[in-house]
Structure 1
């Protein structure tokens, strides 16, 4: 049995009325680790366990680290996660709650990742990348397998982009289910929009810094595969503001009784704030509610006050 679960696929009455479309939600916020990350991370960790690896090391802004920590605990393998200074105290607590060691280093994920990479001298130690691993993408693709198995009708996929692992997995899932014609609407927050800026520039770029509060989207450069996919698949990039993402989190909690973080709120904001133009070509969007266990209601309110001032 895989470490992830088959998550609910539900029709959102609230978002459908608001947008005038038939909106489906893939609720991966309900994964045991709190986000979609467990799909690919779990598959990678299980493979490393089968190879005899005795320790997992990862770098993460939050959700991938929680997923690795959860997988390690389930597999009885010790885990160390290096997180940047921008990672919330709540996220660090959740990683430690899974019996993993947490090291804080650097102002961004890339700096945290550099330290994690330096900890791999022992061949028994396995590095679990938070988003750039083809085997991981194949695990993430299972969410599309589940939607197709449910015989659901959808004409686009709306998702958030951080490092590009979710995007890579969803496109793989579409391809292996004969749905190469289905567009993907890729949402980032302003200040964490490395994919949109790369597409605009025509080449892969690295942001100077992450200025968005959506720290789970805080990869200064997306993986090369995600950028390459924009040249092969119908991927429509769009950015939303931090405030729009936070407002979407708040309204989603009211509408669906499910708390998500701004990284997930970004894709929800595409429907709450921009469905009239961004989704004008579609009638049945599938929104990946990727989750995020790292936010709490008080933090959402504090962000909203901060961004509204």
Structure 2
């Protein structure tokens, strides 16, 4: 098992790769404000990038966003607006505020993001680490699209991707089962960072064009994986990342046919140890 430790990125998750690239692109092209929608981690990344680039940021979050997520976004100097019961509603409101001087930074569905996220595969290859499968979590599908692009870029199109989701937020697995992108009626998983009711079109297309194995774990397995990961590696991640880790901890049989597995420890800054412990108790 190899771990790509994007949990250690300054804003706490892999999101800064693609979001940072997109923000730099728009800043270079004269945009003077960034607007984004997020359940947490994408908003933190946009706020961080905006602060680094001295560009003001507004982030729209749904009512389900945690107080910690909102505090971390504000800590980077961004404005936070709460709107709607889910990310979709927050996203619609964010789009209404965009003008000619504003760049809208989508949390997952943007080729600029995917190209930025692809750099993690470049780094693994450059480090000389061999692998014959990649395990990652899927929410809206931005990480999946980025890893897919990174594999293509490095001549690794044949390497399977194990796409992990939690029950109640498994929009990719639902799309694969239906043969087309479908919208979940609601997000019922505690892994709200995976809470896109419908995956990006690009994410579904990837499942049709390369080997992708969908694995759905329950919330309890995701939280237990976070706690075991904290014991094993002294790094705290949220259940959205725990979904991928749970494939190794609780569903190792899904990896038995591989020799060298790369797991994307995508991170997430919106959970605390106390919250993980409370979830573990309530889900027991």
Question: For the superposition of Structure 1 and Structure 2, which TM-score range results when normalised by the shorter chain?
Answer: over 0.9
Which residue of structure 1 aligns with residue 74 of structure 2? Answer: 96
Superposition pairs of residues 1-309 of structure 1, within 5 angstroms: 23-120=1-98, 122-276=99-253, 278-308=254-284
* Deviation, structure 1 residue 227: 0.2
CA RMSD after TM alignment:
0.5
SS in 1 for 2:36: strand
* Deviation, structure 1 residue 262: 0.1
For 2:180 and 2:110, the matched residues in 1 are separated by 21
Give TM-score scaled by structure 1 length. Answer: 0.91
For 1:268 and 1:286, the matched residues in 2 are separated by 11
> What runs of 5+ residues in structure 2 fail to find an aligned partner?
none
* Deviation, structure 1 residue 250: 0.4
* Deviation, structure 1 residue 281: 1.4
For 2:278 and 2:84, the matched residues in 1 are separated by 24
* Deviation, structure 1 residue 305: 1.2
User: Moved runs in structure 1, 4+ residues, more than 4 A?
Assistant: none
* Deviation, structure 1 residue 135: 1.2
For 2:217 and 2:64, the matched residues in 1 are separated by 20
SS in 1 for 2:208: coil
* Deviation, structure 1 residue 66: 0.3
SS in 2 for 1:231: helix
> What runs of 5+ residues in structure 1 fail to find an aligned partner?
1-22
SS in 1 for 2:209: coil
* Deviation, structure 1 residue 203: 1.0
For 1:209 and 1:135, the matched residues in 2 are separated by 28
Aligned length: 284
For 2:256 and 2:62, the matched residues in 1 are separated by 38
* Deviation, structure 1 residue 162: 0.3
For 2:273 and 2:245, the matched residues in 1 are separated by 17
Give TM-score scaled by structure 2 length. Answer: 0.99
